[in-house]
Amino acid sequence: MAIPATLRRPHPWGYSGDDKGDSMSGSTFGTLFKLMTFGESHGPALGVVIDGTPPHLPLSEQDIQTELDRRRPGQSSVTTPRQEADRVRILSGVFEGVTTGAPIALVIENTNQQSRDYAHLQSIYRPGHADYTFQQKYGIRDHRGGGRSSGRETAARVAAGAIAKQWLLRHGIHIQAYTRSVGPIEADTFQLDTIEQNPVRCPDPVKAQEMVALIERLRDEGDSIGGVIETIITGCPAGLGDPVFDKLDACLAHAMLSIGTTKGIEFGDGFHATQHRGSDHNDAWQVDEGGRIKTRSNHAGGILGGISSGEPIVFRVAIKPASSIAKPQQTVTTTGQPAQIEVHGRHDPCICPRAVPVIEAMAAMVLMDRWLIQRSMNPTWGHES
C-alpha cells in the first residue's frame, strides 16, 4: 500500500526507504529475565515474548488476567471509556500449569479500536504527544492513537510483569503501588487495604473521593490532570543491585521512565533530602530483637550505594496530565502550517489509576532480573532459611 504523501516527507537523517539495516529499536528490556513487546494501539493485537523465566513456576492465564484487569480501560468514570476485555492467551512456555523454561509468548487482541476517531490527525501534530518526534526519527508514523507510542503498549508490560510478580511472591517480595496525589490533593492516611476499593487507587478513602471529584470536573471541562504514584517494595533482601552503572535505583529509574506518561522519579526522601543535614538524613544502624542488622529510619528508601539494604524500597513517580484533551490547542500541520486542534475520542482524564499496575509490573521485572543476575554470581544468595 502506498504511503500517503503527508507521511512521505524526506527523512531528516537521510533515510531513503531502502536501507535494509534500519529497524525499530528499544522494544526489549532486561538481561536474564528479558522481554520484547510488540503491537500497536489500533493494530490487531498486542503481545510480549518473555525469555528467562525459570521452569516449574505455577502459571495460568488467570494469574496474568488478574493484573491486566487492573490496567484495562473502561473501569470507571475516571478512566477512558474504551471497552477492551484485554483477554490474554498463553501461546508457549507453559505446560500442565507450570513454566517449562522455554520462551513464554502472550497475546492480547484489540477488539474495540475506533481508528476513525484519529482520521483528522493524519496531517497534524498533537501537542504533548510523540507525533512530531516519531516522524523525525523514523520518517513515518501511525497516527491512529500513536502506534507504538500509545499507552496501550503497557498492557504487554503488565502481562509480563504478572509473571515476575508471581515469581517474586514465592521469594517473599511484595510490591504495592498506589496513587499518592492527584493535582494538589494528597493522601493523608495510608490504609493499604483500601487501595483497590476506590477508582483512583488511593490509600486514603476520604482524599480518594476528592480526587475523583477533581478528575470528573476536569474531564467535563475537556481537560486532564497529573499526579504522583508511590511504590513500596517489602521483603527484598539486602545485597541486590550493583555499585556503579547498574545500581538498583538506576535500573528502577530506567524502568519507570520508560513508561510514556512518567516525568520524574525520587527514592526515599527524594528531593526533600536537599533540605536535610547529613546528621538528620543518615539512617543509623542498629540490631533488632531478632539479631538482624537494620536501620532506625529509612530516608534512603531501602537502597544504599545502588544496593538494597533490606529495608522497604520506596519511590515515587511523577505522572503527567494526559496529553489528549478536548480543549482547543495551537499546533501545526505536517507541512508547517498553523492549526488548531481538539482531540476527541476516548481518553483518560487522569492516567494514575491505570498506571499503578504498570509501575508494579516494571518494578517486578527489574527485581526479578537483578535477582537472577545476583544468583548467577552467587548461587546461595537469597535462599530461604
Residues 309-353: pLDDT tens digits? 999 999 999 999 998 888 899 999 988 999 998 887 667 899 999
**Residue 135, CB-side half-sphere exposure with 13 Å CA sphere:** 19
Please state the length of the chain: 385
Mean per-residue pLDDT, 149-171: 94
For the record, the C-alpha cell of 196 comes out as 483497590
Please check the confidence at residue 37 and state whether its pLDDT lies above 50.
yes
Query: Given this model, what pLDDT does residue 5 score?
Result: 47
Please check the confidence at residue 256 and state whether its pLDDT lies above 50.
yes
- Top-confidence residue, 334 or 202: 202
- Just give the CATH number of 28-377: 3.60.150.10
What residues form DSSP beta bridges with 303?
A: 308
Please list the alpha-helical segments (H only) found in 104-221. Answer: 131-138, 154-169, 205-220
The model carries a pTM of 0.90
Query: Is 265 buried (19+), middle (13-18) or exposed (0-12) by CB count in 10 A?
Result: buried
Query: pLDDT above 70 covers what percent of the chain?
Result: 87
Question: Cα separation of 68 and 279, whole Å?
Answer: 44
Mean per-residue pLDDT, 250-270: 96
Please check the confidence at residue 137 and state whether its pLDDT lies above 80.
yes
Q: Is the CB of residue 359 less than 8 Å from the CB of residue 353?
A: no
Query: Given this model, what pLDDT does residue 10 score?
Result: 53
Query: Given this model, what pLDDT does residue 29 score?
Result: 95
Query: Given this model, what pLDDT does residue 350 score?
Result: 93
Please check the confidence at residue 239 and state whether its pLDDT lies above 90.
yes
Query: Given this model, what pLDDT does residue 20 score?
Result: 45
Please check the confidence at residue 251 and state whether its pLDDT lies above 90.
yes
Query: Domain limits of the chain?
Result: 28-377
pLDDT tens string 282-319: 999 999 988 999 999 999 999 999 999 999 999 999 99
pLDDT tens string 63-86: 999 999 998 865 666 776 555 678
Question: Cα separation of 231 and 226, whole Å?
Answer: 17
Query: Is 182 buried (19+), middle (13-18) or exposed (0-12) by CB count in 10 A?
Result: buried
Mean per-residue pLDDT, 357-377: 96
pLDDT tens string 84-120: 678 999 999 999 999 999 999 999 998 865 556 666 7
Query: Given this model, what pLDDT does residue 129 score?
Result: 86
Query: Who contacts 274 (Cβ-Cβ below 8 Å, separation ≥6)?
Result: none
Query: pLDDT above 90 covers what percent of the chain?
Result: 67
Q: Band the pLDDT of 40: cuts 50, 70, 90.
A: confident
Give the angle 48-172-187 at the CA atoms, nearest 5°.
Answer: 80
**Residue 163, CB-side half-sphere exposure with 13 Å CA sphere:** 34
Mean per-residue pLDDT, 182-199: 96
Q: Is the CB of residue 175 less than 8 Å from the CB of residue 151?
A: no
DSSP string for 292-319: -EEES--TT-SEETTEE-SSPEEEEEEE
Sign of the C-alpha dihedral, residues 184, 190, 191, 195? positive
Q: Band the pLDDT of 385: cuts 50, 70, 90.
A: very low
For the record, the C-alpha cell of 81 comes out as 471509556
Query: Given this model, what pLDDT does residue 164 score?
Result: 98
Please check the confidence at residue 177 and state whether its pLDDT lies above 80.
yes
